[in-house]
Structure 1
Amino acid sequence: MSRPSNPFAQGFRRVDLEGGAQSVVSTVVAWKAQATQMSMTMDIIFFTAACCVVVASVISTIEVNISTNTTPSRIPRQVFLTEIAPFDLVDCVYLLLFGTKMMLLDAPVRFKGIVEVQAFIIKYFAFLTRFTVMGVMKSRKLDRVRLFTSAHYVQPPQVRQQIRRQNANTEQMFNSYARSNYQEGMTADEFNLLSQVAGISFRNDELTFVLNALCNDGRLGISQRDFCGWINGPAVLL
């Protein structure tokens, strides 16, 4: 800080806001770089752990089947999987499947194929966060069953068909409705407004299921990429 040259401003001090702002920006950039490096380190650690789980499950599966096909008094049989231990085999297969899932989700590389597989797993195989059956079991009525079998399977494709029939530009349509927060994407209310224009209306609980199915990358709304992929791509299971 320095004293001002204006004689009428005696007793006041001028604060260098520009220098302070640059200091804050540099600190934030350093924190962001450190967080990115830490995230990459954690991805490598989890990926290594997942690889160990996969290798251990493969070895366990082979060991279970070899031990069940071997007798002390005879030479080990050459026919593989003729006798199995069901519970041990199920345990090994479980470890193999979920180890492979963890290995793909925590892969430190970002190739196109791996990213697509990660998005597919997050959308359809997030077992710990999207148990649809829990919604049916918690309901005291059968309305959730109807919701799952009819609304979640029929209505979203109808919305997509209505948009396709209009031959509208999907990017322009997305920009027309996603106005509140373009970075996060189209919100539930904005998607419901688009659906009402197509002649279909959703309830709040229905919109929750729709956004869970269409949103990727941990966003709060439907991104332009997800919206265009939903309109022009294959059907999406909700």
Structure 2
Amino acid sequence: MAEKSSIFDMIGPVMIGPSSSHTAGVVRIARAAIRILGSTPTHAIITFYNSFARTYEGHGSDRAIVAGLLGMNTDDVRIREAFDHAQAAGLNYTFQGVGNASTMHPNTIRLQLRDERTGRAVEVIGQSRGGGVIRIVEVDGFSSDFSASLHTLIIDADDEVGSIAFIASVISRDDCNIATMFVSRKGKHDAARQFIEMDTALRPITLEYLRQLRWVHHLTYIPTLD
């Protein structure tokens, strides 16, 4: 006889509601974006697309995205007062909505972030897939495809022969297994960006070695989102 299921058998993110796709996933997109930026932004332009554009206020996605930009986790009770915390932290933000972007996933967010203290700026496009699962599908105009659920390496490098294989070999010497690799480039022998997801963390000395390579211009390391 089949066992009865209970509330404890349900799988989903530990979160502040009401919706895993409209709140938990949104928080995680923002948390991934600030790790790419390397800091909490001072300015953010937040664009919601399609169903998000129509529901972001009622479902709390506006508070969730601001909370994530401040580094809050999905179960942080402060999400409900995220606007107040943003003001205290000096985060200036603007919301936009585009309700009919037919080429985009129904739950898509574009984040244009800037930190005046460091001069850094990034543009990140993320999708909330449900159950708190996300995909980051574009960074600074480079196509990508990673979830931020694994350790992620983002490398800006020259499109040189053998560069991808060399980086893979360096990672393997750290006893680190590559789960996925996505390479996007502007053109042949032009600027390229590698997005590498790994099962385990890289050692600091390995990251520093990769940063020192002549043809590597910038490296961002994103540990697994907690």
TM-score class, shorter: under 0.3
Q: Which structure has greater strand proportion?
A: 2
Q: Which has the larger radius of gyration?
A: 1
Could you state the TM-score of these two structures normalised by the residue count of structure 1?
Answer: 0.26
Structure with the bigger RCO (C-alpha within 8 Å, sep 6+) is: 2
Q: Which structure has greater helix proportion?
A: 1
Could you state the TM-score of these two structures normalised by the residue count of structure 2?
Answer: 0.27
